[in-house]
Amino acid sequence: MSVISKSASSKNSPTLSLEQEINPWQAQAARFELAASKLNLDPGIWKILSVPQREIIVHIPVQMDDGSIEVFTGYRVQHSTSRGPAKGGIRYSPEVSLDEVRALASWMTWKCAVVNIPFGGAKGGVICDPKHMSQGELERMTRRYTAELIEFIGPEKDVPAPDMNTNEQTMAWIMDTYSMHMRQTVTSVVTGKPVNMGGSRGRTEATGRGVSIMCDEAVRALGMKVEGTTVIVQGFGNVGSNTAKHLYLKGYTVTGITEYDGALYNPKGIDIPALAEYRKKAGTINGFPGAESVDKDELITRECDILVPAATENAITSQNAEKLRCRILCEGANGPTTFVADEILENKGIFVVPDILANAGGVTCSYFEWVQDRMGYFWTEAEVNQRLEAIMVESFRDVVAYAAAHKVNNRIAAYMLAIDRVAFTTKQRGMYA
Ligand SMILES: NC(=O)C1=CN([C@@H]2O[C@H](COP(=O)(O)OP(=O)(O)OC[C@H]3O[C@@H](n4cnc5c(N)ncnc54)[C@H](O)[C@@H]3O)[C@@H](O)[C@H]2O)C=CC1
Ligand SMILES: O=C(O)CCC(=O)C(=O)O
């Protein structure tokens, strides 16, 4: 089904229902179709790239702490292996769906191509509620999920990493389970591992660090100054808290932070290291003394220079895009903006740093981890950060120059650049013979 033909008949007019609008796979497909049509993409390559290469569905039995047995459904979708092994995180959430994982997998393909690293795209997800599971239950689920995927993952096939509600401990369990099956330690099967077992220095902070570098570039591109530039960040998990921390350390004024259960605002700026400490102890941002509590949905529409959505998909839709009052939207999350909202933001003149560029610092550092594991030689944190910055800055400049040259917005420029690179390799390899 063509998403574009439904939604873009009069320019990109929002004729989708809200349910269609917030379907991440449709959101991905709509941007793909628009970019592919502007590229005059070969119809055969179009067909190949508009569907995932492989979709794996597993049902994972797990003995729970009370002795009962639960069966969890998990997915791993490999969208493309054209430019290298599939690469992408694993997410644990009650909201996981096959369409979401499909979208996230294809975004990984485009993201790796935008930053020009030698990977394809994949993503995994398990439908579960990690907030209500013990460490033991999470470990057993992770190990069986890994065992079910054993022949589909590997350093040269598909290399998972953390995403929402997974972390370096999850990666350690996957690495160990894979290694048990292979009868030898294989560190490069996953990235985002603890540093003592082959993880890369800097990986935990890399996505947020990369988002902060993208804010620097956007500010420079618009002739603004860091001093006095205000930022609101949605989500205070791995990406949001590290973005806020790096922006705070660089001298930005972080005026707002939202979480799923509350939000904080201080027009003079929030002390982010103090908030991180508070959250560690209290388990929530609510009640932090250095800011007032405000409504979380209203906060993202308050005036600020930069808005960083760093939580879930669909934070910005046709329902609230018109109300945004930021100059720059720098997307830490995957898919925070719907296709319909894109046009509204463009009409408002908001400078968008799209997800497949803005949050690519994580996978770029994962690439460094995979390289270091395969060499068995590890870089200093300064070396990692320097290489990360070089790739992020170059990619930003590539996308912005492409947008200017082709008279498209930054998001479509990023898709066009990525699709062109993946299409070229797919054709060169002849991945249809
Ligand atoms: N971890 C990584 O390296 C990368 C993550 N991403 C994307 O960044 C986003 C966040 O991922 P992580 O930070 O890793 O996950 P995380 O699980 O560490 O943090 C997500 C945070 O968002 C909060 N949250 C959930 N719903 C919210 C809502 N409606 N409003 C405000 N906050 C809400 C959660 O409570 C949590 O603190 C996801 O879209 C993920 O796919 C993208 C690139 C790399
Ligand atoms: O580090 C990686 O391999 C992937 C991170 C990820 O899942 C993402 O960029 O969305």
Average pLDDT over residues 193-199: 98
User: Where do you find CATH 3.40.50.10860 in the chain?
Assistant: 52-186
Q: How far apart are CA 140 and CA 157, in angstroms?
A: 24
**167 is an annotated ligand-binding site residue:** no
**Alpha carbon of 288 to ligand 2 centroid (Å):** 31
Confidence band (pLDDT; 50, 70, 90) for 146?
very high
Give the pair of three-digit tokens for residue 274: 């103090």
Q: How far apart are CA 221 and CA 233, in angstroms?
A: 21
Is the model more confident about 98 or about 6? 98
Average pLDDT over residues 367-378: 98
Q: Which of 249, 302, 304, 294 is nearest to 272 (CA)?
A: 249
**Alpha carbon of 168 to ligand 2 centroid (Å):** 13
Ligand nearest to the CA of 164: 1
Write the single-letter amino acid at 86: A
**242 is an annotated ligand-binding site residue:** no
Q: What is the DSSP letter of 251?
A: T
Q: Which of 433, 432, 398 is nearest to 417 (CA)?
A: 398
Residue 206, SS3 per DSSP:
helix
For residue 299, the surrounding DSSP H or E stretch is: helix 296-299
- Asked if residue 88 has its Cβ within 6 Å of ligand 2, the reply is yes
| pLDDT of res. 219 | 98
- CB–CB of 314/338 below 8 Å? yes
**87 is an annotated ligand-binding site residue:** yes
| pLDDT of res. 9 | 36
Homologous superfamily of 204-358 in CATH?
NAD(P)-binding Rossmann-like Domain (3.40.50.720)
Average pLDDT over residues 368-389: 98
| pLDDT of res. 4 | 47
Please give the mean pLDDT across all residues of the chain: 96
Q: Which residues pair with 160 in a beta bridge?
A: 88
**pLDDT (tens digit, 9 = 90+) per residue, 105-121?**
999 999 999 999 999 99
DSSP string, 75-117: EEEEEE-SSSSEEEEEEEETT--HHHHHHHHHHHHHHHHHTT-
| Catalytic residue list | 123
User: Measuring from atom 2 of ligand 2, which residue has the nearest CA?
Assistant: 363
**pLDDT (tens digit, 9 = 90+) per residue, 346-358?**
999 999 999 999 9
User: Measuring from atom 27 of ligand 1, which residue has the nearest CA?
Assistant: 260
Tell how strand 328-330 and strand 306-309 pair up.
parallel
Complex ipTM > 0.95: yes
Confidence band (pLDDT; 50, 70, 90) for 16?
confident
128: left (phi over 0), alpha (psi -120 to 50) or beta: beta
- Asked if residue 170 has its Cβ within 6 Å of ligand 1, the reply is no
- Asked if residue 311 has its Cβ within 6 Å of ligand 1, the reply is yes
- Asked if residue 130 has its Cβ within 6 Å of ligand 2, the reply is no
Average pLDDT over residues 14-18: 75
Q: Is 97 exposed, middle or buried (0-12, 13-18, 19+ CB in 10 A)?
A: middle
Q: Which residues pair with 47 in a beta bridge?
A: none
**Alpha carbon of 43 to ligand 1 centroid (Å):** 36
Q: Which residue among 260, 285, 317 has the greatest number of ligand 1 atoms within 8 angstroms of its CB, and so is best to mutate? A: 260
- Asked if residue 81 has its Cβ within 6 Å of ligand 1, the reply is no
- Asked if residue 332 has its Cβ within 6 Å of ligand 1, the reply is yes
Which atom, in ligand 2's list, is nearest to the CA of 111? Answer: 9
Q: What is the DSSP letter of 199?
A: P
Q: How far apart are CA 277 and CA 13, in angstroms?
A: 45
- How many CB atoms sit inside 10 A of residue 196's CB? 8
Q: How far apart are CA 120 and CA 299, in angstroms?
A: 36
User: Measuring from atom 38 of ligand 1, which residue has the nearest CA?
Assistant: 333
Beta strands (DSSP E) in 214-369 are: 230-234, 253-259, 262-265, 292-294, 306-309, 328-330, 351-353
**188 is an annotated ligand-binding site residue:** no
Q: What are phi and psi of 266, to 5 degrees?
A: -145, 110
Q: Which of 138, 29, 122 is nearest to 75 (CA)?
A: 122
Homologous superfamily of 52-186 in CATH?
Leucine Dehydrogenase, chain A, domain 1 (3.40.50.10860)
User: Where do you find CATH 3.40.50.720 in the chain?
Assistant: 204-358
**Alpha carbon of 101 to ligand 2 centroid (Å):** 12
**Alpha carbon of 3 to ligand 2 centroid (Å):** 26
Q: Sign of torsion, CA 264 232 383 193?
A: positive
